Chain A
Amino acid sequence: MSKELIPEIKANYAFYNKVLRERKSVFDSLISIEEIGNNSNVLESNNNIAHLSLPNAIVLRINVKVNNHNFFQFKLRCTDLCAVPFFRYDSDGDTHRNYDESIPLEDQQVPAPHFHYYNENGINIAYKTPSLLDENETKALEDINICIKHFCHEANLRLNDDDFPEIQILPGQIPLKVTSDDPNSNVNFI
Chain B
Amino acid sequence: MIYEPIFQSVIASFDKLWKFKVRGNSLEIITPYVTTSQKFISVFLSEKDNEYVISDGGWVDSNMYESILNFEDDIFNRAFFHYYNSFNIKEVYGFNKVKYYYKKTSKAFAIPSLIFDLSNFIASIISLSEIDFVDKQEKETKERFQRTANSFIQSIVPEDKLELGAYLGKNNEVRISAVIRKPKSKLILIHYITGSTPGYFFNSITRTNFLFELAAKGLYKEQIENKISLIDNIASGYNPEHFNSSLRHLLENTHSEMVNWSERDKLKQLV
The total of chain A residues at the interface (CB under 8 A) is 35
- Among B13, B92, B130, contact of A2 (Cβ-Cβ < 8 Å): B130
Determine if A3 is an interface residue (Cβ-Cβ < 8 Å).
yes
In angstroms, Cα B25 to Cα A104, docked, is 33
Determine if B246 is an interface residue (Cβ-Cβ < 8 Å).
no
Determine if B5 is an interface residue (Cβ-Cβ < 8 Å).
no
Does the CB pair A94–B151 fall under 8 Å? Answer: no
- Among B25, B64, B95, contact of A67 (Cβ-Cβ < 8 Å): B95
Please, which residues of chain A bring their CB within 8 A of the CB of B59? 94, 183
Does the CB pair B96–A111 fall under 8 Å? Answer: no
Taking A4-B37, A94-B59 as known contacts, 8 extra A-B pairs with beta carbons closer than 8 A to each other, sorted by chain A number, are: A3-B37, A93-B64, A97-B38, A180-B24, A184-B53, A187-B58, A189-B90, A189-B92
Does the CB pair A97–B26 fall under 8 Å? Answer: no
Q: Given A41-B98, A181-B23 in contact, is the A188-B92 Cβ separation under 8 Å?
A: yes
The total of chain B residues at the interface (CB under 8 A) is 46
Chain A interface mostly: loop
In angstroms, Cα B34 to Cα A171, docked, is 39
A66 to chain B, nearest CB (A): 7
Q: Which residues of A contact B (CB under 8 A)?
A: 1-4, 36, 38-41, 66-67, 93-99, 104-106, 109, 111, 124, 180-190
In angstroms, Cα B147 to Cα A99, docked, is 31
A131 to chain B, nearest CB (A): 18
Q: Given A2-B130, A109-B40 in contact, is the A97-B34 Cβ separation under 8 Å?
A: yes
Please, which residues of chain B bring their CB within 8 A of the CB of A109? 16-17, 19, 30, 40
Determine if B88 is an interface residue (Cβ-Cβ < 8 Å).
no
